[in-house]
Structures are given as C-alpha cells and as structure tokens.
C-alpha cells in the first residue's frame, strides 16, 4: 500500500507558506530591525539603537495622535457595544421582517470605506450637507464639523457658559504644563474627530448587532421561562440572564471593535483635509501618522516602523488584557 509515490505534506503547505513568509513574517521581523536603524528607502544608514524610541517619547505629534486614537476608541467602543446589544435584542424579539432588517443593517459593512467616507464628508458639509439641515430642525445651526478643531467638551461647556480655555490657561501657568497639551486632553475630541467617531459607530454597529443576535439566539429560552414564573421583570431578566450569558460575545465585540478602531485610516485620510490630519491635526490618528511618517514627504521608514511597533504592542496588550478579564468573568 505504502509503495505509491505521494507528495510530501510540505508540498501542500509550500505555496501558502512562501506567501506568509515573504509578506507577513519577514516584514514583521523587519519592522523590529528597522526601528533600531536609521533606514531610508535607499537602505540602512547606520545602527542608532534606541534613538527612535527616545524621539518617539518626546514627539508631541505622536502623543497627540495617540490621544486622538484613544478618544476615538473611548467613544466608539462603548457606544457601538450598547447600541448593538440594544438592537440585537429588538431583532431577537421580532419575527416578521427580521431578515430584511438584518440585510439593511449589514449594508455599511460590505461597502467600501472609501465611498462611505466620501459620502459622509459631504453629509458633514456645512452648507449643503444633510447633517446640518437635519440639526437645523432642532435649532442648531452652522456647525463646522470637519473643519472645527475645538474639542467637544469645550464646546459643550461653552453652551452653559463655562470658558474652558480660560481655566486651562490658568492651570497651564500654575503647573507649567503646555496649554496645547492640556487642551488636547481636557478639551476632548475635536468636533472633526467626533464626526469620524459617528462614522465609525455607524459603520460598525450593523455588523456587531448581527454578531450579538447570533449570541442571543444561543441562550436557551427555558431560562427566560423560569424567570417569568419566578416573576422577574423584563428589565431584571435582561440584566440577570441576557447580560451574563452574552458576555463571551461581549468580549469578542469589545476586542474586535477596539482593534478596528485603533486601525482607523481611510475615514481620516478621506474625510478631513486638506490638510489631511484634520484641523490642527486633531483627527490625525496613529495609523495615519504611521502612513504620513513612512510614506509622506519625510519617508522615514525606521521612525514609522517604531510607531507601528508601539501600536502593535498596544493592540497586543489590549488583547491579552481582555483575554484575562474574559477568564475571570466566565459563566
């Protein structure tokens, strides 16, 4: 039986392995190496050890882009999570038209981010955009959206008569910290970044709703029936049965949404600009900063790789953190 000539198993893996080796493994290893060198598009120009990392630590633009990305995640992740769970619950209850809703909610997921970004850019246009004409119904007029660099906390406090800039200036002189950094942190995401937050939520929500729906359908009906007999209210049922039993899905949604949010690029590239990076750099997210550093005018491959590695470690530690939490909260 064994005499027949067979290809070695490695032959079967070879095509895939070559691609993974050359276009994943080597580039990933190379990005580590690049970060320790002064490396331009022409090639290595000398070993510089940790210089790139030190530069990174002092780079105000890097911190700004990190805070922007952080704000993006802080808003997008929880809101997406809550809305998705809410609509998945509603979808789980209704029988008729459920397929129709599912299809509708999924459309943003399959459409290209480029087209989506172009459309939303025009929706946020101050003169002929849909958003401002919708808001004018509620008496809100003339928001600059994508060109507004002021933070949303600042704008909101402004409406109740608190001048945040004034207080931060005092704080800056008292503590010796830089005013612009204080404003970036306490002013909140700029209105331009907030517009991108809206687009990210809109884009991610449908997908996560469907994921949640799949999770909800796995919860046995019998739990709810038992709770019904015990006289638990719908509200209580949701928090005592649904939320705990859906937690694996919640962790999955949390992780995936965080990872995608940390990698937002197209929306920033297409919606804010020129100059790209938004008003006063307030929409410059970390992936855009990597792109701009490595492939923009500077073409600083090694510094861009350093930033990319930092992003990698952030994503990796968030993943590990969530895995740990998941183990703790296991049902």
- The only residue of 49, 110, 222, 229 in contact with other proteins, by rule CB under 8 A: 110
Part of the chain binding other proteins (CB under 8 A), chosen from 62-70, 93-101, 216-224, 322-330:
93-101
CB of 110 to other proteins, least distance (A): 5
The total of other beta-carbon atoms located within 10 Å of residue 77's CB is 22
Quick one: which of 73, 123, 143, 246 contacts other proteins (CB under 8 A)?
A: 123
Return d(Cα 290, Cα 310) in angstroms, integer: 11
Q: 109 vs 163, which CB is nearer to other proteins?
A: 109
Stretch that binds other proteins, among 63-71, 139-147, 178-186, 297-305 (CB under 8 A): 297-305
Per CB under 8 A, which region of 51-59, 65-73, 179-187, 263-271 contacts other proteins? 263-271
Pick the closest to residue 242 from 257, 259, 273, 221 (CA basis): 221
Q: Does 312 bind other proteins (CB under 8 A)?
A: yes
**Span from 7-15, 145-153, 175-183, 218-226 in contact with other proteins (CB under 8 A):** 7-15
Helix/strand/coil (H, E, C) string of 71-137?
HHHHHHHHHHHHHHHHHHHHHHHCCCCHHHHHHHHHHHHHCCHHHHHHHHHHHCCCCCCHHHHHHHH
CA distances to 82, 93, 151, 226 from 87, rounded to whole Å, are 9, 10, 30, 24
Q: Please give the residues from 225 up to 254 whose contact with other proteins meets the rule CB under 8 A.
A: 252
Q: 36, 71, 101, 194: which one contacts other proteins (CB under 8 A)?
A: 101
Contact between 87 and other proteins per CB under 8 A = yes
Residue 160 lies near other proteins (rule: CB under 8 A): no
Dist. CA 112–CA 120, nearest whole Å: 12
Contact 65, 265 (CB under 8 A): no
């Amino acid at each position: 039986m064994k005499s027949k000539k067979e290809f070695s198993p490695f032959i079967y893996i070879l095509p895939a392995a070559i691609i993974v080796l050359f276009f994943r493994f080597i580039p990933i290893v190379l990005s580590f190496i690049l970060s320790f060198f002064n490396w331009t598009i022409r090639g290595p120009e000398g070993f510089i050890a940790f210089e790139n990392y030190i530069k990174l630590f002092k780079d105000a633009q890097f911190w700004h882009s990190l805070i922007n990305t952080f704000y993006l995640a802080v808003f997008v992740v929880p809101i997406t999570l809550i809305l998705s769970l809410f609509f998945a619950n509603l979808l789980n209850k209704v029988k008729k038209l459920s397929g129709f809703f599912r299809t509708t909610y999924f459309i943003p997921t399959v459409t290209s981010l480029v087209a989506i970004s172009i459309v939303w850019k025009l929706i946020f246009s101050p003169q002929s955009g849909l958003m401002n004409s919708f808001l004018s119904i509620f008496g809100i007029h003339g928001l600059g959206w994508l060109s507004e660099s002021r933070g949303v906390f600042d704008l909101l406090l402004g409406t109740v008569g608190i001048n945040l800039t004034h207080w931060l200036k005092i704080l800056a002189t008292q503590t010796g910290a830089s005013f612009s950094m204080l404003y970036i942190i306490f002013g909140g995401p700029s209105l331009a970044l907030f517009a991108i937050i809206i687009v990210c939520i809109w884009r991610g929500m449908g997908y996560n709703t469907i994921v949640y729906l799949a999770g909800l359908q796995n919860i046995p009906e019998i739990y709810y029936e038992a709770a019904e007999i015990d006289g638990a209210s719908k509200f209580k049922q949701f928090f005592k049965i649904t939320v705990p039993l859906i937690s694996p899905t919640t962790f999955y949604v949390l992780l995936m949404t965080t990872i995608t949010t940390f990698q937002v690029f197209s929306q920033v590239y297409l919606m804010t600009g020129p100059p790209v990076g938004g008003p006063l750099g307030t929409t410059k997210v970390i992936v855009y900063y990597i792109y701009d550093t490595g492939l923009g005018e500077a073409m600083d491959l090694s510094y861009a790789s350093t930033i990319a590695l930092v992003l990698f470690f952030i994503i990796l530690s968030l993943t590990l953190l969530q895995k740990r939490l998941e183990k703790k909260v296991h049902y």
